[in-house]
Amino acid sequence: MAHHAVSGRAEGRRVARKIIIDTDPGQDDALAILLALASGEALEVLGLTCVAGNVPLGLTTRNARRICELAGRRDVPVMAGCDRPMGRDLVTAEHVHGEDGLRGVDLPAPTMPLDSRHAVDFLIETLREAAPGTVTLVALAPLTNLATAFRRAPDIVARVADIVLMGGAHRALGNVTPVAEFNIHVDPQAADIVLCAGAPVTIVPLDVTHKALVTPARNAAFAALRTRVGQVAAALSRPTGRESARHGGLGAPLHDPCTIGWLLAPDLFAAREVNVMVETGSELTMGMTVMDWWGVTGRAANARVLHDIDADGFFDLLTAGLARL
Ligand code: RIB
Ligand code: CA
């Protein structure tokens, strides 16, 4: 399983890495999208493919466009994808993200149109048209869109440069059940399809994102930007009591932007090649990611799993990125 370099070089100049962000905005998705859009020299965002997750699909597509317009990027295609998991009822997270999915901010309703293409068609067409190994899929949500695309067009799997997904947990406890992380738990069948498809996968699990805590000082740094984006970032990431209480009252974890941090500055992270499988049978452990850290199963490694982060370096990167918008 070859992982392609983070970004290429052509005639000595840096070529931005092409990415598609699959997302369910979602407060932390919003910050990930902003950081990606602020990093044009390294990342070319080909489109946002939306899926039901934190809130229903109609709200994730609305929020994705609100964030693009906040960043001044009405040019980025935003597409609607799957409105429910492959084999289970949709579970949403309004208690975390608010009824509209972007608790805490009063961004206007979007004026940019939703792209008419279905997100799954966009994934398939874009991967077929691009040179193999040049498009990275950044998955910040339940993996329903990606799994549906892989099922409908198996030929695209070999064309994927990398799938960088926020999801799962190794030693960290689950955040939606005692053992399962939300993105995997919402659609475990989809996660199983993606992890077993054979494309390069980089997993950013709760073990990493629980070290990326938005402390009051880090939140204040967003506000200190004194820009609309800084204000929104501070509002979106203001620690809630419940989330912060789980982490010693220090702050709430910032999950999705860690995927973009990896693409921009992989040296801020530690990683290990590991076999990862998903529980899709037992309701007790449904959506649990079983990571064979010591190789005791003999199963081949199918994922690069991040397990540590330089949190100060990451927040410096994120704050500097937001300052550019
Ligand atoms: O478990 C955290 C993940 O679930 C994040 O992607 C968050 O946005 C929610 O989708
Ligand atoms: Ca998300």
For residue 175, the ligand 1 atom closest to its alpha carbon is 1
- Give me the pLDDT at residue 240, please: 72
If one counts the domains in the chain, the total is 1
Instruction: Tell whether 233 is covered by a domain.
Output: yes
78 lies in a domain? yes
Phi then psi for 306, rounded to 5 degrees? -80, 140
pLDDT tens profile 262-319:
999 999 999 999 999 999 999 999 999 999 999 999 999 999 999 999 999 999 999 9
Give the residue numbers spanning the domain of 25: 9-323
Q: What is the pLDDT of residue 50?
A: 98
In a domain, 1, yes or no: no
Please name the residues in contact with 108: beta carbons below 8 A apart, sequence gap of 6 or more.
66, 69
User: Is residue 183 in contact with ligand 1, taking CB distance under 6 Å?
Assistant: yes
Residues 6+ away with beta carbon under 8 Å from 83: 52, 56, 57, 90
C-alpha–C-alpha distance, residues 30 and 18, integer Å: 19
The pLDDT tens digits for 121-163 are 999 999 999 999 999 999 999 999 999 999 999 999 999 999 9
Q: Identify the pLDDT of residue 7.
A: 46
pLDDT above 80 for 14: no
Indicate whether 9 pLDDT > 90. no
Paired residues of 21 in beta bridges: 48, 138
**pLDDT at residue 245 in the model:** 85
For ligand 1, whether the C-beta of 187 sits within 6 Å is: no
Residue type, 140: L
Integer Cα distance of 63 and 91 in angstroms: 18
* Sheet (strand 303-309) strand order: 78-80, 43-50, 17-23, 135-139, 160-166, 201-204, 303-309, 269-278, 289-292
Q: Is the CB of 141 under 6 A from ligand 1?
A: yes
Query: 255 catalytic, yes or no?
Result: yes
Q: Which atom of ligand 1 is nearest to the CA of 26?
A: 8
Q: 259 falls in which pLDDT band (50, 70, 90)?
A: very high
How far, in Å, from the CA of 298 to the mean position of ligand 1?
Answer: 30
Which ligand ends up closest to the CA of 177? 1
User: Has residue 42 been placed in a domain?
Assistant: yes
Spacing, Cα 255 to ligand 2 middle (Å) = 8
User: Would you say residue 4 lies in a domain?
Assistant: no
Number of CB atoms found within 10 A of residue 282's CB? 9
| 185 phi, psi to nearest 5 deg | -65, -35
> Which of these, 143, 128, 52, lies nearest to 91 by C-alpha position?
52
Structural domain includes residue 188: yes
CATH number at residue 165: 3.90.245.10
Q: Which of 97, 170, 185, 255 is catalytic?
A: 255
pLDDT of residue 25: 98
- Structural domain contains residue 2: no
In a domain, 76, yes or no: yes
Q: 160 is written with which tokens?
A: 């994927």
The stretch 54-73 carries a mean pLDDT of 98
